[in-house]
């Protein structure tokens, strides 16, 4: 097996998660690099050395792909994959990307759960008052109205907070991608 074949096999195996048409397009550029290097009198080993470590190249490509997916197909699953792709590029990213992302995402999830809990609690008070008479009906309705209002306000605020968190994380991942690729625009 030639150096080019080993290099390309390793690169291709790491990019399996990329849809085939896009993966083939990306890999074509690397095949072309090897072909041009040989035509210019270089060995395959020199061409592979010029390109660099295929694992690092694949990680950078995956990062770009994941960030693009998170940007075009909104959802925390896509964003999380992009964050984990960033973290795979080194210890710095594990500390400064993955750690804060997990901490802030956990806080947001906890806030959503609290908002839901307040809403369910208000409904529970009304139902419990109907069955056991703990509160008079006007009191239960007032408590239910207050908790429903608080829940609605929390949902509005949390939606804005969640959207901001998503956008800021995506913006940072794009910045990080440019830094990793050596493009400081």
Token pair 């290097």: residue: 37
- 61 contacts 15 by C-beta, under 8 angstroms: yes
CA distance 125 to 56: 57
Mean pLDDT, range 51-80, rounded to an integer: 89
The answer as to whether 162 is a domain residue is yes
Residues in Cβ contact with 31 at an 8 Å cutoff, skipping those fewer than 6 apart: 4, 8
pLDDT in tens, 14-60: 999 999 999 999 999 999 989 999 999 999 999 999 999 999 899 88
Buried b (16+ CB within 10 A) or exposed e, 92-101: ebeeebbeeb
Share of the chain above pLDDT 70, in %: 97
Q: Which of 17, 41, 19, 37 is nearest to 29 (CA)?
A: 37
pLDDT over 90 at 139, yes or no: yes
The answer as to whether 47 is a domain residue is no
pLDDT at 150 (0 to 100): 97
Domain count across the chain = 1
Number of other residues whose CB lies within 10 A of the CB of residue 153: 11
pLDDT over 70 at 183, yes or no: no
The answer as to whether 70 is a domain residue is no
Mean pLDDT, range 69-93, rounded to an integer: 84
pLDDT at 64 (0 to 100): 86
Mean pLDDT, range 102-111, rounded to an integer: 96
- Provide the whole-model pTM: 0.74
The answer as to whether 130 is a domain residue is yes
pLDDT over 90 at 9, yes or no: yes
The answer as to whether 109 is a domain residue is yes
pLDDT at 2 (0 to 100): 87
Top pLDDT among 154 and 183 is at 154
CA distance 136 to 97: 52
The answer as to whether 31 is a domain residue is no
The answer as to whether 58 is a domain residue is no
Residues in Cβ contact with 21 at an 8 Å cutoff, skipping those fewer than 6 apart: none
pLDDT at 179 (0 to 100): 79
The answer as to whether 176 is a domain residue is yes
Domain limits for position 94? 90-181
């Amino acid at each position: 097996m030639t150096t080019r074949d080993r290099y390309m096999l390793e690169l291709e195996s790491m990019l399996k998660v990329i849809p085939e048409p896009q993966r083939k397009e990306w890999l074509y550029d690397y095949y072309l690099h090897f072909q041009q290097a040989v035509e210019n009198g270089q060995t395959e080993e020199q061409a592979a050395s010029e390109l660099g470590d295929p694992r690092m190249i694949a990680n950078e490509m995956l990062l770009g792909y994941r960030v693009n997916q998170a940007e075009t197909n909104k959802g925390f699953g896509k964003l999380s994959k992009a964050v984990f792709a960033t973290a795979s590029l080194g210890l710095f990213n594990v500390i400064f990307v993955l750690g804060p992302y997990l901490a802030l995402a956990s806080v947001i999830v906890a806030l959503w759960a609290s908002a839901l809990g307040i809403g369910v609690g208000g409904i529970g008070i009304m139902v419990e008052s109907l069955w056991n008479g703990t509160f008079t009906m006007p009191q239960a309705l007032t408590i239910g109205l207050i908790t429903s209002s608080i829940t609605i306000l929390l949902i509005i605020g949390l939606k804005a907070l969640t959207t901001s968190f998503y956008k800021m994380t995506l913006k940072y991942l794009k910045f990080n991608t440019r830094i990793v690729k050596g493009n400081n625009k």
